[in-house]
Structure 1
Amino acid sequence: MNVRRSAAALAAATVVLGAAVPAVAATPSPAPSTARPAGLYGTSDPAYDGVWRQSLALLAQHTVGVTPADEAVAWLAGQQCASGAFAAFRADPAQPCDAKVMTDTNSTAAAVQALAALGGHRAAAEKAVGWLKSVQNADGGWGYSAGGASDANSTSVVAGALAAAGKQPARVRKAGKSPLDALGKLSLPCGGDGGGAFAYQPDKKGALAANADATAAGVLGALGEGFAATAGKTSAAPVCGGTPGALTAADLARNGAAHLARAVAATGHLTSALPGAEDQPDYGNTADAVVALAAQGAAEQAKKPLAWLQKNASTWAKQSGPAAYAQLVFAAHATGADPRAFGGTDLVAQLNATGPAPQATAPAGDAGKNTDTDTDKKSNSDSGYSVWVIVGVFLVAGIGIGFLISARGRKRQP
């Protein structure tokens, strides 16, 4: 997904582009681990993405009616610091979080989304939300690190956590600004290069450049949807429009979807360029784009990239691990495709096999239901928004082929 900050912050190794990995800080808090902790999904070093990939895996299982193993949920819950925040990974959760433990908004918000969906962790989720609200920026958004400049990806995942906890993101304000205000500032005007897209962040001169990853995040954020978004009402092909300077949430989502539709129209996939190499397909960003298009109601425009993923993404997911399988599950879920027969691959079985065996699989028709009334958002007066999206920025280390830089860190996306 994304890439940002120095090479000191290399994410867990992966051999292909697009695996779902959150943003990382310039000086990572965890020391690389030597063995996979009990209950954790995936076999790669969790130092930079343990909480992230666990959260996506558990949420994807819940979405398709799988009850995760108790030890898997307990591992995620046990990563929380006393402040309510989460770091990317804590090798020894029994030790208190000190100044050396670098908590972040992406890991925290992803964990909230998963724990809120699974139920039974209301106090932990609310404490995490309290921490997130305490580090909101004056522009209404969030950066990866507390106090860091707001970006579209982090702002969206945090807004998703708020919604998952029963809060209306538009009502969570700092200095009078909400997450929607921050996203609006990152939206490119119609008519120009990349019109309708979202930028990850402004550059040093304040200019905005279209970024497909940030755009997928921004679309879902504006819609009030999250990782496990459902299909929106069928509509005509999205067209960029609205009143400049006064774009509504619906305008922002439609405009971003229009950009994504254009970006995947020719090949069916998004691309990522590597230094010194030709452009390559970006599987993770393509999956995110499918979810965003479907959620917007652009079902027709989501068909081609969905078919491309069904034909091409199985090897990528196998190499990349649980978060990649989760992204494909979300793409299938949003479009009404069968995740158990996704281009000949049973994504659910493959995901389940990357960690402890789940407790059970719900009967047909019961997938994704949350029976924990303690966390039922319908009982909260601030409900009405579903989980919002993220796609933080990150660096990835290629196995045996050097460092690979994912498209999400560059602002050169089509």
Structure 2
Amino acid sequence: MNVRRRGSAAVLAAAAVIGAAAAPAVAADPSPSASASQPPALFGTGDPQFDGVWRQSFALLAQDTVGVIPSSKAVEWLTGQQCANGSFAPYRADPAKACDAKTMVDTNQTAAAVQALWAVGGHGDVVEDALEWLKSVQNKDGGWGYAPGGPSDANSTSLVIGALTATETDPTKVTKGGKSPYDALLTFALPCSKDDGAFAFQPDKDGKLLPNADATAAGVLGSLGKGLVAGPGNKAAAATCADGPDRAQAAANGAAYLATAVGKDGHLKSALGGSPDQPDYGNTADAVVALAAQGGADKAAEPLAWLEKNAAKWAKESGPSAYAQLIFAAHATGTDPRDFGGTDLVEGLNATGPAPQGARTGDSATASDRAADENEKEDNDDSGFGVWWFVGVCLVFGIGIGFLLSGRNKKRQP
């Protein structure tokens, strides 16, 4: 997911760097060796000023997704970046120095860190503090902007929804002014009759909502209650656009828009700095995850095939976030990330950071095997009370706070 169009020059610069994970660019040398100013536990060797926490979170989450036990130092580096109020900034060169009003914390880094640290486990206190901070900066419309207090946007709101659902927190119960995150997200869903069911990022300077493929991929996952890591959805969930959407229909509308967008060339395009349109690898990977999560792996077959054929060089040039996005795309479609068009994405990701501790016992199965297991589990649960399985959503509404706290306590165990 890209992070775009923020309110200050510094934040715009941050958006550009984070956006490199979803746009073709010659980024940092992916070698794990670090310069004098580069923490050895940090993934990637590019300047971490704007995306240190972001890329570290993506890398750790991707490793966990494929059964790799991350380096304990890499996890400690991420937890050490948290401010006392629970938030995360993109990068704090001196974590011993307390965060102050000048520390540019944001919802995107924080939501990504929540998903990564919950996945690796053992840091429930860090996760809980981050969630409390996110709730404290929720806007009155129920959503979030990139910077606390900034206008809500589809990408940031979806990222926070992913953090909530990943931690077994019901987004419908996280409200401000009577509005939930889903209420805010649906305000960015555009009508089929005019904009083919896309999502907008946020209103432009004239107050208009314009279709945005990146925001649409995020909006589909947010509407489904999915985080960065999503398995294949139910094939019966048709991606047919219809106005007057609820969340499920909004996800279907967005998927229909993405299917049309990638169908033209097999991938999404972007224009950078007025240059001609060029392939957008990162957003295409996000679209694969969204399409698969909404309607099954088959819906993402064409852009997935394009990524398998073309994305290896981009990932090598762009570093850990790019490898992670491709791993998420492989996971969502049941594709083996260790043989992604002939490229071992796991090996490539591991090479961009500190050596992992090893592999989890019982996690030697391929991504395809694990995705099949997830689908089987969802199918079995559907016979009882899986009201959202038809769109591939692993949510159970009405979970009591006691159950949530119990889950978090379990995650505190090393």
The answer on whether the counterparts of 1:40 and 1:75 sit within 8 Å (CA) in structure 2 is yes
Whether the 8 Å contact between 2:43 and 2:320 is mirrored in structure 1 is: yes
Map of 2:32 onto structure 1: none
For residue 310 of structure 2, the aligned residue among 301, 309, 312 is 312
Residue 74 of structure 2 aligns with which residue? 72
The CA deviation at 1:381 is 3.3
- C-alpha distance in structure 2 between counterparts of 1:17 and 1:54, whole Å: 15
Letter in 2 for 1:214: A
CA–CA distance in structure 2, aligned partners of residues 144 and 34 of structure 1? 30
Structure-2 change in CA distance of 1:187 and 1:380 (3 Å)? closer
**Structure 2 vs 1, CA of residues 18 and 312 (structure 1 numbering), >3 Å: closer, same or farther?**
farther
| Secondary structure of the structure 2 residue equivalent to 1:87 | coil
Residue identity in the other structure for 1:328? L
Judging changes above 3 Å, is the alpha-carbon distance between structure 1 residues 36 and 335 closer, same or farther for their aligned structure 2 residues? same
Separation (CA, whole Å) in 2 of partners of 1:237 and 1:128? 36
Gaps of 5+ in 2: 24-34, 374-394, 405-414
Contact 1:17 1:272 (C-alpha < 8 Å) held by counterparts: no
Contact map agreement 1:12 1:45 (CA 8 A) in 2: no
Superposition deviation, residue 34 in structure 1: 6.2
Distance verdict in 2 for CA 1:147–1:276, change over 3 Å: closer
**1:300 aligned to which of 276, 298, 302:** 298
**In 1, are the aligned partners of 2:199 and 2:215 still within 8 Å (CA)?**
yes
User: 2-side partners of 1:121 and 1:17: how far apart?
Assistant: 28
CA contact (8 A) 2:5 2:15 kept: no
Distance (whole Å) between structure 2 residues aligned to residue 187 and residue 60 of structure 1: 29
Aligned ranges 1:222-371 → 2 under 5 Å: 222-235=223-236, 237-242=238-243, 244=244, 247-362=245-360, 363-365=363-365
Q: TM-score, normalised by structure 2?
A: 0.82
Amino acid at match of 2:339: A
8 Å CA contact 1:263–1:270 kept in 2: the answer is yes
1:64-88 CA distance string (max 9 Å, x none): 0000000000000000000000001
**Amino acid of the structure 2 residue aligned with 1:102:** M
C-alpha distance in 2 between matches for 1:350 and 1:333: 16
Post-superposition CA distance 1:337-359 (Å, at most 9, x none): 11000011000000001000000
**1:45 aligned residue (44, 47, 59):** 47
Structure of greater relative contact order (alpha carbons < 8 Å, 6+ residues apart): 1
Aligned to 2:210: 209
Q: Which residue does the alignment assign to 1:10? A: 13
- 1:237–1:298 CA contact under 8 A, matched in 2: no
Change beyond 3 A, Cα 1:186–1:93: same
> Structure 1 289/77 Cα, relative in aligned 2: closer, same or farther at 3 Å?
same
Whether the aligned pair in 2 keeps the contact of 1:60 and 1:330 (CA below 8 Å) is yes
Aligned mates of 1:65, 1:216 — CA distance in 2: 25
- Specify every segment of 5 or more residues in structure 1 that has no aligned partner in the other structure, as ranges: 22-32, 370-376, 385-414
* SS of 1:19 mapped into structure 2: helix
CA contact (8 A) 2:3 2:146 kept: no
Alpha-carbon contact 1:237-1:301 (below 8 Å) kept? no
The residue type paired with residue 52 of structure 1 is W
| Partner Cα distance (2:332, 2:16) in 1 | 28
**1:392 aligned residue:** none
1:102 Cα deviation (Å)?
A: 1.2
Percent identity among equivalent residues? 63
Change (3 A) 1:13 1:141: closer
The letter for the 2-side match of 1:3 is R
**Is the 1:238–1:298 Cα contact (8 Å) retained in structure 2?**
no
**1:325, 1:209 → 2: CA distance?**
29
- CA 1:47–1:232: 2 relative to 1, 3 Å: same
Answer yes or no: is the 8 Å Cα contact 1:79–1:87 preserved in 2.
Answer: yes
Matched to 1:308, the amino acid is W
Of 92, 105, 111, which aligns to 2:107?
Answer: 105
Give the aligned residue type for 2:287: A
Deviations 1:25-80 (A, max 9, x none): xxxxxxxx962112110010100000000000000000000000000000000000
Cα offsets for 1:1-43 (capped at 9, x unmatched): 34324554424987x975159xxxxxxxxxxx96211211001
CA distance in 1 between counterparts of 2:256 and 2:118 reads: 31
Change (3 A) 1:164 1:353: same
RMSD (Å) for aligned C-alpha atoms: 2.4
Residue-pair matches, total: 361
Greater per-residue helix proportion:
2
| Candidates 169, 188, 191, aligned match of 1:189 | 191
Distance 2:366 2:337 in 1: 15
Q: Structure 2 counterpart of 1:311, which letter?
A: K
- Shift, 1:226, TM fit: 1.2
Q: Residues 278 and 34 (structure 1 numbering): CA distance in 2 closer, same or farther, change over 3 Å?
A: farther
In terms of mean alpha carbon deviation, does 291-300 or 121-130 score higher? 291-300
Segment of structure 1 superposing worse, 164-173 or 144-153:
164-173
Distance 1:271 1:344 in 2: 24
1:165 and 2:167 matched:
yes
Runs of 4 or more off by more than 6 Å in structure 1? 366-369, 377-380
Aligned AA (1:204): K
- Letter matched to residue 241 of structure 1: A
Q: Which residue identity does 2:63 align to in structure 1?
A: Q
Rounded Cα–Cα distance in structure 1 between residues aligned with 2:218 and 2:73 = 30
Q: Is the 8 A contact 1:18 1:285 kept in 2?
A: no
Which residue identity is paired with 1:335? T
Letter of the structure 1 residue corresponding to residue 351 of structure 2? A
1:149 counterpart = 2:151 = yes
Amino acid at match of 2:347: A
Alignment of 1:370-409 (within 5 A): 381=400
One-letter amino acid of the structure 1 residue matched with residue 209 of structure 2: L
